[in-house]
Amino acid sequence: MSTLFSPIDLGSLHLKNRIIIAPMCQYSAQDGLVSDWHTIHLGNLALSGAGMLIIEATAVEAIGRISPYDVGLWSDATESALKNMLSAVRKYSSMPIAIQLAHAGRKASSQRPWEGGQLIPVAEGGWHPVAPSAIPHGANEPAPAALDLAGMQRIKQAFADAAIRAHRLGIDAIEIHSAHGYLLHQFLSPLSNQRTDQYGGSLENRMRFPLEVIDAVKEVLPADYPLGVRISASDWVEGGWDILQSITYTQALEQRDCAFIHVSSGGLSTQQKIPLESGYQVHFAEAIKKITSMPVIAVGLITEAEHAERILNDGQADLIGIARGILYDPHWPWHAAAKLGGTVDAPPQYWRSQPRELKNLFGEIRQGGR
């Protein structure tokens, strides 16, 4: 049997296969509210046959959005919008749905990617971003405001409050975003964190705030609720965050009974030099897997079913994250199952699409009709 299409548990959450639809920002919300676009987009992905779908980076406060068009979960209104969207999607799909809770930190108040992605000045409708230290992301950008202890407490509480809302919505798992150069990653990396208090300097100090956030979230959730974390295993910059520090961070996450770890990289510095090639981040996932019992998700230019299967069979990861590849091919899991001899869930409205030579792609189905 294909390993990719074998079941796995993330804590108390059972997945039918090991394909994870990774979070992908759509920059299509209004005032933090998900839109009809999200219902169409996520509804489409929820019919793909993957093991789990993770909703895009969802800001825990308004100034934590990457752009003015990011999804949020900081108010009754944003919660209600998500509730309506989830209700529509779940009417036709039983796929487990997780959510990624995030704060953009100094990378907030930015244009959408297709509009250039640059920082939006306050005078043009943006806002003043916050960060561990007053160090801008881009060389020509104004410095963010360095967070004081009161600001850090506010954000920590915002993560906890958003987790309560996510659990109340019936979302199946939460992923805390501490990757891609956003706020929690900014605290971890010595390139962006140059504080002189108990939250800066040593590795222990730089991990302190992200771990406090995770502890705060754990505290408001049931003990068996699946809470995972996404990390950037390397800044790809000399003197920055690296795999050895990531291993120490991973060990701290395991001590807190996190249910999974999602291993990415980069995003913190404009000086990063990343050798983009198929599976370019898998060696990071492999290094993490060697030192943890948490299920490890590998992601990053894994586009072929055979490659995904090999990663799992070689013990480099436990699950495979697919992002842009599933935007290009929304039925990627179907096609992977066809190649690897797996079975996927599909809605009965689509059963008649099964090719005749693939007798059990959708399991035992009835092909009636007139």
Q: Which residues are catalytic?
A: 182
Beta strands in 233-338 (DSSP E): 260-264, 296-299, 319-322
Counting every residue written for the chain, the total comes to: 370
Q: Which amino acid is at 189?
A: S
11: left (phi over 0), alpha (psi -120 to 50) or beta: left
Beta pairing partners, 264: 232
The residue whose two tokens read 């290094």 is: 287
Burial 125-154 (b: 16+ CB within 10 A, else e): ebeebbbbbeebbeeebeebeebeeeebee
**How many C-beta atoms lie closer than 10 Å to residue 352's C-beta?**
11
Alpha-carbon distances of 215 from 76, 227, 316, rounded to whole Å: 24, 11, 28
Pick the closest to residue 166 from 54, 89, 67 (CA basis): 54
Locate 62 and state its tokens.
Answer: 């308004």
Q: What does the alpha-carbon distance between residue 114 and residue 156 come to, in Å, rounded to a whole number?
A: 31
